[in-house]
């Protein structure tokens, strides 16, 4: 029997009306049977500081780490800030990666969608993020790449995807990620007996 795969979704934008958050909700609605997406919040995480860690991790760090640890995979949905990832997202990555040797990201399958109102679709953010994911030892979905531009007009008043072709691409993306999770989680389970 195939077990349910839990996906932690990390949204790089903190704002209430975030287009990336809407995209994350759209992907959650399109996820195939047996794959559950849940947003793990990052807005309350204090800035990573090794001195603070040494004195005892703050509760939001512990909450974030345990939520990611309990997931089978991680999906990043992020805007681009100044051709890179928003600071809040980088901070969440730093928090989850420590203490040294206890990263909650290690080995978990990942995928990246970058989404921007601009034409370039957050390509810079997408690939800066991938650089960190290599170091975090996360197998990252390669295809389809997801650089979503022109996102300002992408959602209707209810926050749903307005165009069928966009929805079709989101479906292809989340289906490919589901298959990627299955392949890579199974490999983990096999290698660990």
Out of 67, 80, 109, 136, which residue is the one contacting ligand FNR (CB under 6 A)?
Answer: 80
Contact pattern for ligand FNR over residues 106 through 125, marking x by CB under 6 A? ----------xxx-x-x---
Pairing of strands 110-115, 73-78: parallel
* Distance linking the first and last C-alpha atoms of the chain: 17
Q: How many residues bind ligand FNR (CB under 6 A)?
A: 15
Contact between 82 and ligand FNR per CB under 6 A: yes
Contact between 159 and ligand FNR per CB under 6 A: no
Contact between 91 and ligand FNR per CB under 6 A: no
- The answer to whether the CB of 12 falls within 8 A of the CB of 125 is yes
Contact between 71 and ligand FNR per CB under 6 A: no
Out of 18, 132, 166, 172, which residue is the one contacting ligand FNR (CB under 6 A)?
Answer: 18
Which positions touch ligand FNR (CB under 6 A)? 13, 15, 18-20, 79-83, 116-118, 120, 122
């Amino acid at each position: 029997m195939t077990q349910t795969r839990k996906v932690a979704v990390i949204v790089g934008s903190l704002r209430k009306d975030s287009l990336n958050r809407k995209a994350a909700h759209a992907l959650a609605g399109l996820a195939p049977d047996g794959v559950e997406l849940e947003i793990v919040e990052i807005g309350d995480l204090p800035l990573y500081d090794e001195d603070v860690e040494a004195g005892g991790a703050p509760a939001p760090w512990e909450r974030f780490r345990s939520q990611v640890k309990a997931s089978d995979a991680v999906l990043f949905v992020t805007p681009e800030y100044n051709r890179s990832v928003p600071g809040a997202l980088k901070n969440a990555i730093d928090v989850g990666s420590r203490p040294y040797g206890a990263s909650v990201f290690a080995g978990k399958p990942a995928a990246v969608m970058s989404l921007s109102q601009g034409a370039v679709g957050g390509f810079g953010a997408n690939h800066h993020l991938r650089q960190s994911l290599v170091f975090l030892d996360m197998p990252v979905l390669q295809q389809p790449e997801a650089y979503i531009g022109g996102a300002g007009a992408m959602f209707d008043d209810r926050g749903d995807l307005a165009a069928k072709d966009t929805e079709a691409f989101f479906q292809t993306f989340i289906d490919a990620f589901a298959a990627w999770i299955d392949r890579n989680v199974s490999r983990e389970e096999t290698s660990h007996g």
